Amino acid sequence: MEIFRTKKGLQEAIRLWKAQNTQKKVGFIPTMGALHEGHISLIDAAKMSSDLIVVSVFVNPAQFNEQVDLEKYPRTESADADLLKKNGCDILFLPEVSEVYPEGEPKYEIDLNGLDSVMEGMFRPGHFKGVCNVVEKLLRMVKPEIAFFGLKDFQQVAIVKHMINLRQLPVEMMACPIKRNDGGLALSSRNALLSEQEKEEARIINWTLRLAKNLVNEGKSLAVVNENARALFKLSNLELEYLEIINNSSLKPVSSMHKNMSICLAAYCGKVRLIDNIQLN
Ligand code: AMP
């Protein structure tokens, strides 16, 4: 595995590889590091359809609302590099902030068509503009044929898809399933901040989502689904931030059965904010 910290080094390596491997595909996975099996599942997906696997690890300051969260974000560079090497990553891009945001370079402005005004966007103003900006920059640097994103960040998938379409970037976007632990908790870098007891308590998230899915399958109305999901969640010590049944494309809440909908949830488990979602039909 080769490691690059500069855009120049990265692009030169990819250019050389492409010159020797015409017709083959570059697969790209952007991450913020503190890597776990969830990230590795994206690499496994990438290996199925791409020939050169490029992973970036960059903690993007533009997508944090609170300076303390940015400072607190786990940074585990050498463990990340070891894990990536072991799992078949070919190129690791590890840029400094100044490499991604050179002084004087304008930010990409984007109209997210309201996709960022619901759920995560409501509680994290400006977050998705920051995500889109960095993803666009990275996609323009790496120029992959395919980019891989996890459905763990459901709203991010919808918004990045919108950005790629709007900009007409020549890249296929692949949305990959959520990787969970044996207790059903979606893997996340933030789980490392949970105590063992909190990890147990956080299982209520998955139970709530699964209850909602079962009720939908039984043909219950969405009002009943919503009410029962909230009632179950209330039995826990977690603090609910939002629970929404939404249309997968518009991300707007739906009040009656729709053929393509999901339930999305954010909650605090102690001081740790967790998100999760499940496709309902
Ligand atoms: P992050 O490092 O948190 O920015 O995540 C990088 C990518 O990994 C994003 O596309 C996430 O959605 C994805 N990801 C994170 N956790 C999981 C998981 N448990 N299952 C699948 N994908 C994940």
Is the pLDDT assigned to residue 80 strictly greater than 90?
yes
Tell me which residue has its CA closest to atom 7 in ligand 1: 31
Would you place residue 2 in the very low, low, confident or very high pLDDT band (cuts 50, 70, 90)?
very high
% of residues, the chain, pLDDT over 70:
100
As given in the structure block, the two tokens for residue 100 are 């991604």
Q: Which residues are catalytic?
A: 39
Tokens of 189: 């870098």
pLDDT band at 69 (very low <50, low <70, confident <90, very high): confident
Probe ligand 1: pick from 32, 39, 273, max atoms within 8 Å of CB? 39
pTM of the model: 0.97
- 57 CA to middle of ligand 1, Å? 12
- Tell me which residues have their CB closer than 6 angstroms to ligand 1: 31-32, 38-39, 41-42, 149-150, 152-153, 176, 178-179, 186-189
In angstroms, the CA 30 to CA 10 distance is 14
The pLDDT value recorded for residue 106 is 84
**pLDDT reported for residue 71:** 92
pLDDT in tens, 231-273: 999 999 999 999 999 999 999 999 998 889 999 999 999 999 9
The pLDDT of residue 258: 87
pLDDT band at 72; cut points 50, 70, 90: confident
Could you tell me where the DSSP H helices lie in 57-194? 67-72, 77-86, 97-100, 120-123, 127-142, 154-167
Q: Whose CA is nearest to atom 12 of ligand 1?
A: 150
- How large is the angle between the packed helices 203-217 and 222-234, nearest 10 degrees? 160
- Ligand 1 probe mutation, 134, 152, 163, 193, most atoms within 8 A of CB: 152
The model's pLDDT over 21-60, given as tens digits with 9 standing for 90+, comes to 999 999 999 999 999 999 999 999 999 999 999 999 999 9
Average pLDDT over the chain, rounded to whole? 96
**Residue 49 pLDDT:** 97
Contact call for residues 63 and 17 (beta carbons, < 8 A) = no
Q: 51 CA distance to ligand 1 centroid (A)?
A: 21
pLDDT of residue 109: 87
Residue 258 has, within 13 A of its CA and on its CB side, a CA count of 17
Tens of pLDDT along 148-196?
999 999 999 999 999 999 999 999 999 999 999 999 999 999 999 899 9
Looking at the chain, the whole-number percentage of residues with pLDDT higher than 90 is 93
CA distances from 242 to 228, 245, 268, 273, 274 (A): 15, 10, 10, 11, 11
Q: What is the mean pLDDT of residues 88-102?
A: 97
**108 has a pLDDT exceeding 90:** no
